[in-house]
Structure 1
Amino acid sequence: MRRLFPSLALGFALLGAVATAQAEEVGCVSTVWKMLGPDHKICIDAFEDPEVKGVVCHVSRARTGGMKGAFGLAEDTSDAAIACRQVGPIEIVGDLKDGEQVFTERRSILFKTLQVVRFFDKPHNTLVYLIYSDKLIEGSPKNSISTVPIMPWRE
């Protein structure tokens, strides 16, 4: 059993790395200097909705630094914001399901994730993106939304 835990931890760390590979880092700012390990930061990433071509979302969230942050053992806060925009002609690939997960990122070694889900507001022809974090036992009510009205695109 002792050998199993490090293997599981490594597996979860790799899964988190795969999930964040979908996003491209735009930039970070330091919020607290740490003598040992990386500083606490606020980072911005960009990702494209895999089911809706022509939409890009930018997500900002806190990243815990220090030694725990350096080794992936810190639990990041639930503070996050999202802004999504139409950047080209919108093309919906497949069927959109309300509440469908668009992006996910590990926020602690095992129990907490940051998620972006999409809804389609048909009466207003608008895509709605919701960012929130959940935890195995108790999630957080902190959330943010961004809307993208589906408009004709002129080149």
Structure 2
Amino acid sequence: MRGMARRCGAGVLAMLLLGGPAAAQQRVGEVSTTFRVIGPNDKVVVERYDDPRVENVSCYVSRADTGGLSGWVGLAEDPSRFSIACRATGKVTLPPELPQRESVFRQSTSPLFKALTVTRILDAEKQVLIYLIVSTKVVDGSPFNSVTAVPVNAP
């Protein structure tokens, strides 16, 4: 229930912030980390996001998901602990007019104003796409981050 509401909210937020449909998201798996007597357990979830503008690039994000009663009713704030790994799943070519830096994924991690954001950065000199994930808040963000890179195939 909470996960579905969070995904719907994240999709709407992404559509508003990025000016288009939210990127495809698929929960790949999860592992419980803390037993909770009431409500779901705390867990680490792994989700796949396909880059909406670069074909054949998929990013796998692992993140903490708070359980318990507050998590069950959707009031918990997930901690800013996450990791990202992006991979080429086929030939990667850059679309025309790809910006040097662009926010490509955004997912809410609290009921109010906290989100995980993935930014794609193009290193044109080395022909590499870099994906950086950070936690953002309206007032302040978090120093926690993770980075990964995907080489672009030569034409």
Could you state the TM-score of these two structures normalised by the residue count of structure 1?
0.84
For residues 143 and 74 of structure 1, do their structure 2 counterparts lie closer, same or farther at Cα, with a shift above 3 Å needed? same
Gaps of 5+ in 1: 1-10
d(CA) in 1 for partners of 2:8 and 2:28? Answer: 22
2:10 corresponds, among 16, 36, 44, to 16
Equivalence for 2:71: 69
Which residue of 1 is the match for residue 57 of structure 2?
55
Q: CA deviation at 1:60?
A: 0.3
The unaligned stretches of length 5 or more in structure 2 are 15-21
Aligned partners of 1:77, 1:69: CA distance in 2, in Å?
Answer: 12
1:152 Cα deviation after fit = 5.2
Superposition deviation, residue 21 in structure 1: 7.4
125-134 vs 95-104, which deviates more? 95-104
Runs of 4 or more off by more than 2 Å in structure 1? Answer: 11-22, 91-95
CA RMSD of aligned residues (A): 2.2
Larger radius of gyration: 1
Tell me the number of residue pairs that the alignment of Structure 1 and Structure 2 aligns.
Answer: 143
The Cα shift of 1:136 comes to 1.1
Identity %: 42
- Would you say 1:79 and 2:81 are equivalent positions? yes
Aligned to 2:19: none
Hey, what's the Cα distance between the residues in 2 that align with 1:145 and 1:67? Answer: 33
What do residues 48-72 of structure 1 show as CA deviations (whole Å, max 9, x unaligned)? 1011001111000000000111111
Residue 112 of structure 2 aligns to a residue whose secondary structure is coil
Letter in 1 for 2:26: E
Structure 1 residues 13 and 59: CA distance shift in structure 2, 3 A: closer
Q: Deviations over 1:15-64 (max 9, x none)?
A: 22555873100100000000111100000001110110011110000000
Kindly tell me: are residues 32 and 21 of structure 1, through their superposed partners in 2, closer, same or farther at Cα, counting changes over 3 Å?
A: farther
Q: Distance in 1 between matches of 2:83 and 2:7?
A: 24
Aligned pair in 2 of structure 1 residues 89, 12: CA closer, same or farther (>3 Å)?
closer
What's the secondary structure of 2:92's corresponding residue? Answer: strand
One-letter identity of the residue aligned with 1:15: G
CA deviations on 1:72-123 (whole Å, 9 max, x unpaired) are 1111011110000111011333422233111110000011000101000011
SS of structure 2 residue aligned to 1:88 = coil
- Higher normalized strand content (fraction of residues): 1
Q: Rate the CA distance shift 1:97–1:85 in 2: closer, same or farther, 3 A.
A: same
